[in-house]
A and B are shown apart, each in its own frame.
Chain A
């Protein structure tokens, strides 16, 4: 159970998030997929920090990733609510406000 297992698992989780972001049309699910991708990056940072535990750089970086993810979720959900007020749907195929 080496560090490579953690890295492989993190890449699979990142791929699940990316596939969800690309395939789904629901804006809520797409935001959740972004959270999945951010979380998988944290796994990589912590695994490398565990392998080289001389300092806390990876954990500090993961801490900042969590903080940025919280800010991103707040702003993203606010944009989602504003979009829902205009379009009355969460379907991203209808997001054509900037298209023409």
Chain B
């Protein structure tokens, strides 16, 4: 894959990593939410290089449009207490956790980087609304209905958990 796809991949991967690092490293939760937004939008651009057009749109709608907004709502609802003081204590366990994570990531990424498969030509309806919609509504109809029930249960559960007990 060369040309505009490769360029788009390089740009979006840089922005995705920068957004992820901004998310986990910023003290203020609102900045972390903005980092998450940058990460999500650049991943939606990366999905375009993988011929996943519908999922790129869904990524923008669901993640950038719903989840990040939900995070920002909660941050504004909680106010200044959303910011936790600087990291202190348990230096050994935190260092060990990060070191193990880096070790695992180095091992995995250096080994999978050599995996190669030819970029075969995709069918016309690959990743479009028609193609993916047909796949979802024919092969995965039951999981689709189950996931809709799951979302309904999640909504009811969120209301029940977050409701004030004082009424």
Contacts and interface: CB of A to CB of B under 8 A. Distances in A.
A2 to B, nearest CB: 4
A56 B23 contact: no
Given A1-B9, A81-B74, A23 B116 contact: no
A71 B150 contact: yes
B29 A50 contact: no
Contact of A66 (B16, B62, B120, B150): B62
Given A49-B50, A59-B135, A75 B63 contact: no
A14 B105 CA distance: 8
Nearest to A92: B84
Nearest to A94: B84
B36 A35 contact: yes
Interface of B is mostly: helix
Interface residues of B, number: 89
Contacts of B75: 28
A69 B67 contact: yes
Interface string B64-101: 00110011001101100111110101000010011001
Given A53-B51, A78-B161, A81-B77, A16 B139 contact: no
A16 B150 contact: no
Nearest to B67: A73
29 contacts: A2-B1, A3-B115, A8-B112, A12-B105, A15-B109, A19-B98, A22-B94, A22-B101, A33-B23, A39-B43, A42-B47, A46-B47, A49-B50, A50-B51, A51-B118, A52-B117, A52-B120, A53-B120, A56-B127, A60-B135, A60-B136, A62-B52, A69-B67, A70-B67, A77-B71, A78-B159, A81-B77, A82-B162, A91-B84
Given A2-B119, A69-B62, 19 more contacts: A4-B113, A8-B109, A12-B105, A13-B16, A15-B109, A16-B21, A19-B102, A23-B97, A24-B87, A33-B24, A35-B63, A43-B43, A46-B52, A46-B55, A57-B135, A59-B135, A60-B140, A66-B62, A73-B70
